[in-house]
Amino acid sequence: MIIHNETVAQTGEPIGKAKKVLVMLHGRGDQAKNFIHLAKELTLPGFAVLAPQAIQNTWYPYSFLAPLSKNEPQLSLSLSGLSELMDDLDGLSVQKKDIFFLGFSQGACLALEFCARHANRYGGIIAFTGGLLGDQIEMGSYAGNFQQTPIFIGSSDHDPHVPEERINESEEILSNLGAKVTKKIYPGMGHTINKDEIDRANAILNRTFDPSNAD
């Protein structure tokens, strides 16, 4: 599978036989072939795992808090690449309720932004340190209804790239779009992924997530 002349890294079940699909979006400067190794930490029975590659290893050139226009045209290219991937999965008769998204940092921001612009009943969305894009969040960009799609957003209380205020704003908007959002801020974690986040991701991926027990 190729998106924008970049090979999509794959692992897990063959895409034509898989019951569910996890789309993994790497962070700035990383590569899909490296980030997809995180799948080894996840419990993924019956999953095909797809990791698109960002052009020049970057989904957009500037901070996710920059004006949207400043991150063009690469932001639109990245979003259209995900749309192309979704079209390919639709052509393979993969239902949106069986598609999950997981991203870290810049990839988490892109996953949330794409899904908010195309809100639907997805399997789940996991954002390790990310929020919606723009110097100001443009509500007119978002459409649809998540229909209680579970979304997890985890981050540090002093992350150098993603301020807690933007995570809070994103949580409110995603909730208003019909998502079941769980946010977890970890004291002093740094810009990384911890074991608790992996456990919460596995709960969503295996549909054992119970929002009534979330904190």
Instruction: Print the domain residue range for 112.
Output: 2-213
Per the structure, how many domains does the chain have? Answer: 1
Q: Catalytic residue among 105, 155, 156, 170, which?
A: 105
Q: Which of 26, 78, 159, 170 is catalytic?
A: 159
CATH number at residue 147: 3.40.50.1820
Distance CA 191, CA 171 (A): 19
Q: Which residue has the higher pLDDT, 33 or 208?
A: 33
Q: What is the pLDDT of residues 157-210, one digit of tens each?
A: 989 899 999 999 999 999 999 999 999 999 989 899 999 999 999 999 998 655
Give yes or no for a contact between 6 and 88, defined as CB atoms under 8 angstroms apart. no
Residue 189 pLDDT: 92
Beta bridge partners of 180: 150
Top-confidence residue, 134 or 16: 134
The pLDDT of residue 4: 77
pLDDT in tens, 65-92: 999 999 999 999 999 999 999 999 999 9
Across the strands, what pairs with 2? Answer: 7
Write the CB contacts of 21 (distance below 8 Å, at least 6 apart in sequence): 15, 47, 48, 49, 50, 89, 94, 98, 99, 100
Residue 169 dihedral angles phi and psi, to the nearest 5° = -60, -45
Give pLDDT, residue 212: 44
Q: Which structure tokens are listed for 17?
A: 């036989």
Q: What is the pLDDT of residue 99?
A: 98
Helix (H) or strand (E) holding 123: none
Residue 159 annotated to the active site: yes
Q: Is 191 noted as a catalytic residue in this protein?
A: yes
Query: What's the whole-model pTM score?
Result: 0.94
